[in-house]
Structure 1
Amino acid sequence: MTGPPVDAPLEEVVSTDPRDGRELGRYPLHSAADVAAAVTAARRAASWWSGLGYAARRSRLDAWRRLILRRVSELVELISAETGKTTADAQLEAILVVDHLRWAAAHAGKVLRRRHVRPGLLMYNHSATVDHHPLGVVGVIGPWNYPAFIPIGPIAHALAAGNTVVFKPSEYTPGVGKWLADTLGEVVGEQTVLEAVFGFGDTGAALCTSGVDKVAFTGSTSTGKRVMAACAESLTPVLLECGGKDAMLVDRDADIAAAADAAVWGGLSNAGQTCVGVERVYVHQAVAERFTELVVENAAALRTGVGRDADIGPMATREQPSIVAEHIRDALARGARAALGGPDSVRPSTVEPVVLTEVREGSLALTEETFGPVIVVNRVATMDEAVAQANACAYGLGAAVYSRARGPQIARKLRVGMVSVNSVLAFAGVPGLPFGGTGASGFGRVHGPEGLREFTRTQSITRQRVRPFLRPLSFERSPRTMDALMRLIRIVYG
């Protein structure tokens, strides 16, 4: 959990535009007492919200979606201003927000409705059901790289399941968080079911210990560990979507032009600040030379800057360029080759595309999240070698495979939560697919049916329908009862 920027007044959170440094807004710095008050208010609203039922909640969430669409230009401008991303990237984020919100509202009732289970032979005289109840209040801690799309996953699914939400947006993007909370408040006027709290690491820590019923966190792995440790004190369950070091595997039979285009977009869009972005590519040696040429050619044609005609905008935080530069220098010092760009590509606020080849395993550019417009391209002799290298990383978020004949076969060997075959990041655009990783990338899922169930407590209920002929669950049972049951089990299951 980060602290305040050195020049920010401690009583406020100041939002600035990374493109020119201009101030965008000031927000109250919420204390632990403020967070506790927000959770208490959310607890009161939770009873009313859950009591509405799925249909009434869906109508309100649909109204929120329609309001977002009517004012989507506001959201796009705000995302672009607070993150520095291009208008096109901000528009794509807004589209994803609307689509995932629609899916959660439309499917919650079907996914979470009461389910009947066969009782089995021993409990033949019972009915058995599974219910999914809302948890109550969910705390959501969001990131700055996709300040609307990433948090809308847990927010929309938690709300659709019947929970209220206290949302701490990143200190870099408080305006987007406030906009989301305010717009929902316009269509749900009875009570506040989404409350935004603002601050730095201390505010996030306060949310973890505030008594919420679950915390959904998206951010770095190191911060995720601290979130989990704070929640462990009260056994508050957590959903962690942490960093990634996603790999692309390119087989010898792949469409090389399409794969190169995808690698450049997957690795460089949003200035490379995407948790499921392509950071390393393992390409079959038979096509490696041509693939690398195309990647360099496509990346070199992109425009980097702060203007509206830029393909790649500035880095969203002041710390990130130095991390990118460290990874580039470390790789080159270990013998890597810069096919495009290099240390001089890193400037105080922008980073031009960098393509590194022959990067040795163990380099920071292959083991740690770079989160910048840097693509590593290493050649391999076989796809088995590519799979082994991809799986050697501690992270396990997403991946991509390009192969005409063996895409799904290769994909299933990867130790990651999501894979796109002959595309990149496609899994993030399918609202019904669960999103999440393994290993250092965290655990739990947002999106899809699994994302809805994450924000419920499961309750199993059995009900005796008729008195049993035999009574094995009683001290009044006789040896003849158990002998009869044993004979029956042998006949039925033997």
Structure 2
Amino acid sequence: MTTVDQATVRRTELSVVDPTTGEPVGTLPTAGENEVVDAVSRAHAAQAGWAATPAEQRGAYLHAMADALAGAAEELAELNRRETGKLPADCRGGIEAGIGTLRQYAELGPVHRGHSLRGNDLAADYTVTRPRGVVAALTPWNDPVAVAMGLIGAALVTGNTVVHKPSERNPHLGLRLGEVLSSALPENVLVTVTGAGDVGRMLTADERVNVYAHVGSTATGRDIARAATGTGAHVIRENGGNDALVIDETVDPAWAASQAAIGCFVNAGQICTSVERVYVHRAIADEFLTALEAEADAWTNAETPQPVVDRPHRDLVHGQVTAAVEAGAQLVTGGQLPDGPGAHYPATVLTSCTPDMEIMREETFGPVAPVQVVDSFDEGLERAADDRYGLAATVLTTRLDRALRAVNGLKVGTVKVNNVFGGAPGGAAQPHGDSGEGFGYGPELLDEMTTTSVVHLEFPQSPDNGEQR
């Protein structure tokens, strides 16, 4: 049996505070080395039997998982709200998205197929797909159910077993989610472990884990990729982004401001593809900034404003804003730490930002809209493309030629035109640069979770006359 190459890790605890009220949510123990090894052992032992289960039956199990998730939706949504501060409607929406994803993979998995190639009259090549084995799914806190259902659903329906480590920021939700889903599955097909980075490192040190599927920070993603060079595991990772919004002078500035506000402030700016930097044409910049200030103030003064996930994260967001102002950015609105409990942060707009500022170079992951005014669409496009990340980007324009230039010029996984969160159901994206590797979601994720073997089938020749028989 493979064991992790490190000293036994003493069990610690995860304590979570409600970022809306500042009140404790609860405390859970983290998995120690023995628990992590045992989790992998159980998933490894169950994998061959699960892989032998007919694909149609695995799809039926995913439908049962979706039913179980629907039955526990209110309980899970409340845990999500308390641990991450997401608004109740968003919590329920994430669970509904997760249910839909499971049902989608329940149907796609059984028809996941290979290819064939005709040789001579009595010969043919074809491909068969096989599960990779044990998948370590390491999922984030910002949309914890929907993201997890994508990775877990695709892994299970293709015959892999899963060890799931939810984020240490939502361990109560993650543990309960595992109980709900496992109730619809054969034993040990899905195993949940709680913990922080040390538990993730133990999982990725175990050579019996065949896939590392990670959604989270770029720093953690790099560590996971390095671990895979030692174990040979396949890596799928969606990591940080610094998504740009480029605004052409041909669009209505008030509409552009509403798009920027959605991109920057929804879920307190804590979406993987949130807008992180804005480039607006000088011809409409004044009207745009006036409208964006009004949008930001409306978000801040909403009846139920959403906090960021916790106070340490709020400190990081505020630190970037403060550093930008000290470097010459102008604060249009927001940017002040509020009084009171919890981890609230106002929707913030900055202008006069420059490319050398950290807030334009790195992911903020908070409700902040840093704006740079540009003299042309091409300048905005050039600024947007000058980035080490490659998750997504958006352009707002009425001109088709400029939209097509953006598609060609932005080396990112998803280019969105005239909708900051646009995308068809079942879509997939392949992050570029420091934003990750491999396809996440959609039918392409089934390919990531499987390997392919080519079969050449031909009838033997007769030893007597060389004729085929």
Question: So what's the TM-score if we normalise by structure 2?
Answer: 0.90
Which has the higher mean CA deviation after the structures are superposed, 322-331 or 133-142?
322-331
Could you tell me which residue of structure 2 aligns to residue 208 of structure 1?
204
Asked if 2 retains the 8 angstrom alpha-carbon contact of 1:255 and 1:402, the reply is no
* Alignment root-mean-square deviation, CA: 2.1
- Write the letter of the residue equivalent to 2:446: L
- Residues 209-264 of structure 1: CA distance to partner in whole angstroms, max 9, x if unpaired? 12211111111111111122223221222112110111111112224333221211
Could you tell me which residue of structure 1 aligns to residue 429 of structure 2?
435
- Residues 325-374 of structure 1: CA distance to partner in whole angstroms, max 9, x if unpaired? 22112212222111112345698722101101110111011001111110
Separation of aligned partners in 2, 1:304 and 1:232: 49
The number of residues matched between the two structures is: 449
Could you tell me which residue of structure 1 aligns to residue 321 of structure 2?
328
Separation of aligned partners in 1, 2:288 and 2:100: 34
Which has the higher mean CA deviation after the structures are superposed, 201-210 or 72-81?
72-81
User: What's the % identity of the aligned pairs?
Assistant: 33
- Pick from 351, 354, 366: which aligns with 1:357? 351
Task: Give 1:125 deviation, angstroms.
Answer: 5.8
State how 1:148-167 maps to structure 2 within 5 Å.
148-167=145-164
Sort the Cα spacing of 1:388 and 1:216 in 2 relative to 1 into closer, same or farther, 3 A: same
Could you tell me which residue of structure 2 aligns to residue 424 of structure 1?
420
Asked if 2 retains the 8 angstrom alpha-carbon contact of 1:108 and 1:160, the reply is yes
Sort the Cα spacing of 1:421 and 1:124 in 2 relative to 1 into closer, same or farther, 3 A: farther
State how 1:356-435 maps to structure 2 within 5 Å.
356-406=350-400, 407-427=403-423, 430-435=424-429
SS of the residue aligned with 1:319?
helix
SS of the residue aligned with 2:183?
helix
SS of the residue aligned with 1:191?
coil
- Pick from 133, 136, 139: which aligns with 2:133? 136
> Is 1:88 paired with 2:81?
no
Could you tell me which residue of structure 2 aligns to residue 245 of structure 1?
242
- Write the letter of the residue equivalent to 1:267: C
SS of the residue aligned with 1:286?
helix
Could you tell me which residue of structure 2 aligns to residue 197 of structure 1?
193
Could you tell me which residue of structure 2 aligns to residue 486 of structure 1?
none
SS of the residue aligned with 1:148?
helix
- Residues 291-315 of structure 1: CA distance to partner in whole angstroms, max 9, x if unpaired? 221111111112368xxx31x3222
Please, which runs of 5 or more residues in structure 1 have no aligned partner?
A: 1-8, 469-494
Separation of aligned partners in 1, 2:193 and 2:60: 26
Task: Give 1:44 deviation, angstroms.
Answer: 1.8
- Residues 262-295 of structure 1: CA distance to partner in whole angstroms, max 9, x if unpaired? 2111111111112210111112222222122111
Could you tell me which residue of structure 1 aligns to residue 113 of structure 2?
113
Separation of aligned partners in 1, 2:189 and 2:29: 20
Please, which runs of 5 or more residues in structure 2 have no aligned partner?
A: 1-9, 463-469
SS of the residue aligned with 1:178?
helix
State how 1:160-309 maps to structure 2 within 5 Å.
160-188=157-185, 190-210=186-206, 211-303=208-300, 309=303
> Is 1:45 paired with 2:41?
no
Asked if 1 retains the 8 angstrom alpha-carbon contact of 2:140 and 2:166, the reply is yes
State how 1:460-471 maps to structure 2 within 5 Å.
460-465=454-459, 467=461
- Residues 53-101 of structure 1: CA distance to partner in whole angstroms, max 9, x if unpaired? 2211111111211222233212221111110111122122222212222
Separation of aligned partners in 2, 1:118 and 1:301: 63
Which has the higher mean CA deviation after the structures are superposed, 58-67 or 361-370?
58-67
Separation of aligned partners in 1, 2:358 and 2:418: 27
Structure having the higher Rg? 1
SS of the residue aligned with 1:277?
coil
SS of the residue aligned with 2:299?
coil
- Write the letter of the residue equivalent to 1:434: A
Which has the higher mean CA deviation after the structures are superposed, 328-337 or 133-142?
328-337
- Write the letter of the residue equivalent to 2:375: A
Separation of aligned partners in 2, 1:304 and 1:93: 24
